[in-house]
Amino acid sequence: MKKTFLFIAAISLIFSSADAKTKKPKKVVETVPVNVLTNNVDSMSYALGLNVGSDFAKNIKGIPGGKYTIDLVIKGFTTAMKGDSAQMTSEFANEYFRNYITEAQKTETAAKKVEGEKFLAENKTKEGVITTPSGLQYQVLVAAEGPKPKATDSVKVDYEGFLIDGTKFDSSVDRGKPIVFPLNQVIPGWTEGVQLMSVGSKYKFFVPYTLGYGEKGAGNGAIPGFATLIFEVNLLGIMPAVEAKSTQVAAPSLEAKPTMFDKKAPSAKGTKKTK
């Protein structure tokens, strides 16, 4: 646990330094120092505590279930920092924490599965929503006539991706740059859905987890396991695979946020995995 907090402290200071370099200088506001800041070491120590505490306060909200007892978090932290006698050994604390998180994640993802299934069951009854045999649901927002892509083609699209609670997790529209990609190298919901479209059309897809990122999700939790996804897709062009090689646009970085291009994202059991 000590290593965890030291790591957080280091990361906090790194980000603080990076922000100082990239942000415009702010007007310095003079404040009266508190009594404990009697020297540089005290000031540094207090600043470190504020940095660690500020970052930790944000990160702790991501604990599955969102429940914790802040007073005991602080007590455990100060006990470890001071080297005082603790109610748990470090080994037991690490194992207990890991087991708790694992079980809490299982409960949370199971709830996501039920939530997604309920959403899709209600959504398929809405006017204009069509359900395919695979379970993919779609709605035609802008109709168009013309050729449709094959799975072996590459396509050029603008798109936005949302969780069913409305959270936007990716958008080529926000980046201001359409994407070109092979249609058979993305999540199954996209491979199937985009083949229904003609150039110039815009569809809204409702993708069950079995056709998306499966039981594990993607993007370091940005797309939870069992998540049902919503995409708005505008098909801008079709290119045969051979022709597309010379114009292929690299998919956006997947480190910060997931997209349907995330080739590492697992599909659910029994479905085709993205390559």
- 231 part of the active site: yes
* Known active-site residue 169: yes
| 206 close to 230: Cβ distance less than 8 angstroms | yes
User: Is the alpha carbon torsion for 141, 130, 162, 253 positive or negative?
Assistant: negative
Q: Regarding beta strands 202-207 and 229-239, do their DSSP bridges make them parallel or antiparallel, or are they unpaired?
A: antiparallel
Select which of 158, 179, 187, 238 is catalytic: 187
Residue 159 annotated to the active site: yes
Say how far residue 39 (Cα) sits from the centre of its chain: 43
What is the spatial distance between Cα 110 and Cα 101, in angstroms, rounded to a whole number? 14
- Among residues 138, 181, 206, 213, which one is catalytic? 213
- Among the listed residues 209, 226, 231, 261, the single catalytic one is 231
For the question of residue 181 being annotated catalytic, the response is no
Tell which residue, 189, 195, 187, has the closest CA to residue 154: 195
User: Is-catalytic flag, 170?
Assistant: yes
Give the distance between the most distant pair of CA atoms in the chain. 75
Clarify whether 187 is annotated catalytic.
yes
List 138, 153, 158, 159, catalytic entry: 159
108 and 69 Cβ atoms separated by less than 8 Å: no
H or E segment to which residue 191 belongs: helix 188-194
Q: At 84, is the secondary structure helix, strand, or coil?
A: coil
Going by their DSSP bridges, the two strands 129-131 and 137-142 should be labelled as antiparallel
Catalytic position from the list 153, 158, 170, 262: 170
**Residues labelled as active-site residues:** 159, 169-170, 187, 213, 231
